[in-house]
């Protein structure tokens, strides 16, 4: 039988990315924070609300799961592709993509892991 998994982003804390996360920036560089809206479990995808500070960059990378990125605010370039609020991408697992760069407003987006 299916399940309904509610979440309320305003009630959840912002978290810093772990120190061993490959995209972790150095001291004083534009950073990342996120809210874990759901935890990946069975048919439930892991969903995060993510914020990249203005000028944040990440090198090209891949993930062992597919993902959906949907921009809510700001802009973000993924290689030559420029995304603005209201746009998104679906990225297949193990796809090398990047570099990522945010504009002067940074970026807030929803990330859905397709485990």
Q: Does 108 score more than 90 pLDDT?
A: yes
- Position 3 scores a pLDDT of 87
- Position 104 scores a pLDDT of 95
Domain boundaries 27-114, corresponding CATH code: 2.60.120.10
Q: Does 74 score more than 90 pLDDT?
A: yes
pTM for this model (two decimals): 0.92
More confident residue, 108 or 23: 108
Average pLDDT over residues 74-101: 97
Q: 70 CB contacts (<8 Å, ≥6 apart)?
A: 87, 88, 109, 110, 112
């Amino acid at each position: 039988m299916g399940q309904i998994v509610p979440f309320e982003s305003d009630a959840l804390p912002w978290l810093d990315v772990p120190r061993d996360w490959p995209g972790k920036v150095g001291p004083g560089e534009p950073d990342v924070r996120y809210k874990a809206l759901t935890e990946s479990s069975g048919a439930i995808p892991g969903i995060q609300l993510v914020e990249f500070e203005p000028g944040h960059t990440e090198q090209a990378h891949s993930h062992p799961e597919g993902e959906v990125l949907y921009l809510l605010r700001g802009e973000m370039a993924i290689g030559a592709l420029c995304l603005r609020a209201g746009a998104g991408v679906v990225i297949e697992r193990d796809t090398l993509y990047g570099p990522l760069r945010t504009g002067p407003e940074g970026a807030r987006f929803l990330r859905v892991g397709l485990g």
